[in-house]
Amino acid sequence: MYFGFREASHIASAVMATNPLIKLREYFSDAWNVLHFSTCALMITDLYMRAQQLAESRTNFDDDNYSSLISAITLPLLAMEVFYYMSALSSFGPLIRMIIKIVRGIGTFTVILLIMIIAFTGSMYILYQDKDFDGFSTFGDALYNVYRFIYGETLTIEDMKQSKSLITLSVLKSFFMLFVQIVLLNLLIAIMGDIFDEVQARSSAETCYGRAKLVMQYESLFTESYKNAHPEFYPRCLFVLKRDEADVSGDAAWAGRIKEIKQAIRKDLKGDLQRLERVESEMAVIKDMLQKLLEK
């Protein structure tokens, strides 16, 4: 009930704002807020349905398929809720942020993979059309079996001979396995490795991000009158952000491990050049002093 009250408070504050549509759009644009709202809505619905069953003196809850389905969907969402609170911990924060960035980073990859699966599903369905072969008799069955090819499932020679053309099916299946299992899956590993390097290089910042997000969410539950009545908890501060010297000359966005190494080398070279200039200036001063002594 507490989490339901929390999400209701956020939505109510957005509705009562000056621009409610903009605030609501900002609220639902965050995937975590959508997760919180969905989990609370499903849990409250499930509790209501089970309370109604108890009121009707029903002891077997499995008879209600809708309640069972809602409970089955809610449990994974609750696990994701735990991940949200674990992101504030220094040991789990970078890992949670890594998972989130990987899910966001493979969006384009998923589109390419989906296009390939649908295209080859059509090919398999056409080759087995009117053959009364289990697994490819309908487009849905063909889609499921082509999807299983990604995980190493394949067809036997006897199954392939039942198609309209054994050679055509062999060439298409070989090309699909080569493109998906070798090219695309290795590309997926490379994308995940690059995201891993990015998060590891900024692990402290990623942990602080998750912690700050959690703190800001709970602070938003308090009213302005409460904040004004407790200035020791909510002091009026001015935060000044200053870019690090390592990021002044380059782009602050992540561009890969090689770019990070180049920036680190450039920073070291810049420091060495500055120290060399100071040594040269000091040597020039010493040279002038010696020149004056010799003239005397």
Residues 66 and 144 in one domain: no
Q: Is 205 inside any structural domain? A: no
Which tens digit of pLDDT belongs to each residue from 178-226?
898 889 989 888 888 888 887 777 777 777 777 787 777 777 777 778 7
pLDDT at 117: 92
User: Does residue 118 have a pLDDT over 90?
Assistant: yes
Distance separating alpha carbons of residues 262 and 248, to the nearest angstrom: 14
User: Does residue 132 have a pLDDT over 90?
Assistant: no
The band of 161, judged by pLDDT with boundaries at 50, 70 and 90, is: confident
What is the arithmetic mean of pLDDT over 152-181?
Answer: 87
Residues 182 and 138 in one domain: yes
The band of 64, judged by pLDDT with boundaries at 50, 70 and 90, is: low
pLDDT at 248: 44
Fill in the DSSP letter of residue 278: H
Distance separating alpha carbons of residues 99 and 192, to the nearest angstrom: 9
Distances (CA, A) of 14 to 8, 21, 23, 232: 10, 8, 5, 26
Residues 69 and 115 in one domain: no
Residues with Cβ within 8 Å of residue 15, at least 6 apart in sequence: 23, 24
Instruction: Lowest mean pLDDT of 56-70, 73-87, 162-176, 217-231, name the range.
Output: 56-70
When the pLDDT of each residue in the chain is averaged and rounded to a whole number, the result is: 79
pLDDT at 115: 93
Counting the structural domains of the chain, the total is 3
Q: Is 216 inside any structural domain? A: no
pLDDT at 241: 60
* 8 Å CB contact between 162 and 133: yes
User: If you search the block for the tokens 């700050």, which residue do you land on?
Assistant: 212
What is the arithmetic mean of pLDDT over 123-148?
Answer: 86
pLDDT at 224: 74
The residue among 130, 120, 118 whose CA lies nearest residue 162 is 130
Q: How many Cα atoms occupy the beta-carbon half-sphere of 31 within 13 Å? A: 9
Q: Which two tokens stand for residue 204?
A: 């402290």
Fill in the DSSP letter of residue 255: -
Q: pTM of the prediction? A: 0.63
Instruction: Lowest mean pLDDT of 148-157, 167-176, 271-280, name the range.
Output: 271-280
What is the arithmetic mean of pLDDT over 162-168?
Answer: 88
Q: Is 219 inside any structural domain? A: no
Q: Is 228 inside any structural domain? A: no
Residues 118 and 177 in one domain: yes
Q: Is 209 inside any structural domain? A: no
User: Does residue 165 have a pLDDT over 90?
Assistant: no
Which range of residues forms the domain containing residue 151? 105-200
Last-in-domain residue among 86, 114, 135: 86
Distance separating alpha carbons of residues 103 and 112, to the nearest angstrom: 15
What is the arithmetic mean of pLDDT over 51-76?
Answer: 74
User: Does residue 30 have a pLDDT over 70?
Assistant: yes
User: If you search the block for the tokens 């929390």, which residue do you land on?
Assistant: 6
Which tens digit of pLDDT belongs to each residue from 237-255?
766 666 555 444 444 455 5
When comparing pLDDT for 221 and 91, which is higher?
91
* 8 Å CB contact between 70 and 98: no
Residues 82 and 159 in one domain: no
The band of 31, judged by pLDDT with boundaries at 50, 70 and 90, is: confident
